[in-house]
Amino acid sequence: MNLAFSSEHQAFAESVMRALERACPLADVRAALSQPDWRFHKPVWDKLRDLGVLAAALPEAYGGADDAIALAAAAETVGATLAPAPLASALYLFGLTLLSEGDAESKSKWLPTLARGATIGACYFGSGLRVTNGRVTGSAQPVFDGLAAQALIVRANDGDATSLFLVSLDEGGSIDKRPLRTLDASKPAAEIVFADCPAIRLGSDDGVQRAKDRAATLLAFEQIGGAGAALAIARTYVSDRAVFGRAIGSYQSIKHALADVWVKLETARGHAYYALWAMNSNGDDFPLAAAAAHVSASDAFEMAARVCVHVHGGIGFTWEAAPQLYYRRARALSAFLGSTQAWRDDLGRRLIDGERPRR
C-alpha cells in the first residue's frame, strides 16, 4: 500500500507548479475576471501541453502516456495556482468520456488532437436537447468552456430514451454561442443553441454517471490544490498581521478556524487519493469513492476559501487581494458537476443500502 504520490509524480507536479506560477501569476487570473468574453489562458494551456499534462491520462495509442496519476498530480497545481485552463472540460470530461463511450473513429479523430492541445472539448449533461435523424436541436446552458470548445459530448433525447452524442461544432447545421456571466469569470460558461447539427450517438446515458465520477475524482485534486493554497495564504497573513500587540494567528478563534480547515482539507485529500485508486483499479467501490471525493473536496475548498477571505478582515473583501479569487474558484468547481447536495444524497443512499469501501 502506498497512499501518496510517488517521488516521480511529486517532481512532475513541482515542475508543473513552477511553470504555472511563471506563466500565470494571480494578476492574470484577476484580469480574466474583467473580460466578458474570456475563454482560457493560452500560455497556460501551451505550457500544460509542453509538459505533457494534456496527454498524461490518454492511452499511448492516441499520443498519451496512460498515466492518470500524473494528470491528478498536475490538477492539484492547477487548483493551487488558479490557472484558468479548461482541463476539467477538455480532459476529465470530454476526453475520458470519449475514451470510455466513443467509437473507434471518433476516438481516432479527437483524442490525438486533445493530447496535442489542438482541440478543446466540453460536455453538457443537462436538459433541453433533442436528436432527430442524427441531428441535434435545442438550447444548452450552462455549457462550461462552451465558448472555447470545438467539440461537445451532450445528453439529448432521441425519441424514446436519452443518450449521449458527440457533436462537432464545425460540421454543418447552425450553432449560436453566447457567453453567460459566471461568478468566477475565469471559468467561463456559455449558452449554445443548436439547430440541425450532425450528432454521433455514443451510447446510453448510463455513461453520464461514469463520466461524472471520473471528472469528480480528478476535479477533487484541483479542489484540494485550491484549498491548500487558500489555507497557506490565510496562514501567512494571520502570522504577520498584528492587532492588540499580537499576531492574529495567536488568537484561538483564528487558530481553531484554520485547524478546522486543515482537518477538512486532509480529509478531502484522503478521499481524493482513494477515489483515484478506485478509478485506476476499476473497483466496484468507485462510485462511492468518487462521490465522497467530490463532496469532501467541494466542502474543503469552499470552506478554506471562505475562511481565507474572513481572516483577512477588510483586506479580504478587496478586489486586489488574493482571497476573492479562491472564493470564486471554489464556487465554480463545486458547481461544475451539479449540486453537491445531490452528490451527498447519493452517497448517503449508497451507504444506507450497504455499499462499503474495499479499505
Partner 1 sequence: MHLDDTPDQAAYRAAARAWLTANAKLRSDGDDLAGFRALPDAEKMPLARAWQAKKAAAGYAAIMMAPALGGAGGTPVQHIIYRQEEARYRVPFGVYEIGLGMCLPTLASLAPTLAQRYVPPGIRGEEVWCQLFSEPSAGSDLAALQTRARREGDHWIVNGQKIWTTGAHFSDYGILLARTDADAPKHAGLTMFVVDMKAPGISVRPIRQMSGESDFNEVFFENVTIADSHRVTAPGAGWQGALTTLMFERMNVGADIGLIDWRAAARYSLEHKSDDAVTRAKIADWYIESQGVNLFAYRTLTALSGGETPGPEQSIGKLVTARQSQDVAQFLLDALAEDGALGGEHHGEMWAAVERAWCWGAGMRIAGGGDEILRNVIAERVLQLPGEPRTDKGPRLKTREQI
Q: Are 316 and 310 in contact (CB under 8 A)?
A: yes
What does the DSSP 8-state code read for residue 95?
A: I
For partner 1, which is the closer residue by CB, 211 or 272? 272
- Position among 277, 286, 301, 327 found at the interface with partner 1 (CB under 8 A): 277
CB atoms near residue 170 (< 10 Å): 8
Phi and psi torsions of 32, nearest 5°: -60, -30
252 binds partner 1 per the rule CB under 8 A:
yes
All three cell numbers of 204:
446510453
Nearer to partner 1, 41 or 312 (CB): 312
For residue 189, the cross-strand partners are 144, 180
Q: How far is the CB of 269 from partner 1 (least distance, A)?
A: 8
246 binds partner 1 (CB under 8 A): yes
- The reply to whether 250 sits near partner 1 by the rule CB under 8 A is yes
Nine cell digits for residue 210: 461514469
- Size of the residue set binding partner 1 (CB under 8 A): 56
Burial class (CB in 10 A: 0-12, 13-18, 19+), 355: middle
**Helix axis angle, 286-311 relative to 206-240, nearest 10°?**
30
* Number of neighbouring beta carbons within 10 Å of residue 190: 25
Pick the binder of partner 1 from 85, 215, 337, 347 (CB under 8 A).
347
CB of 235 to partner 1, least distance (A): 6
Nearest to partner 1 of 148, 215 (CB atom):
215
Can residue 282 be called a binding residue for partner 1 (CB under 8 A)?
Answer: no
List contacts with partner 1 (CB under 8 A): 1-6, 9, 69, 72, 231, 235, 238-239, 246-247, 249-250, 252, 254-256, 258-260, 262-263, 266-271, 273-274, 276-277, 280-281, 291-292, 295-296, 299, 341, 344-345, 347-349, 351-354, 357-359
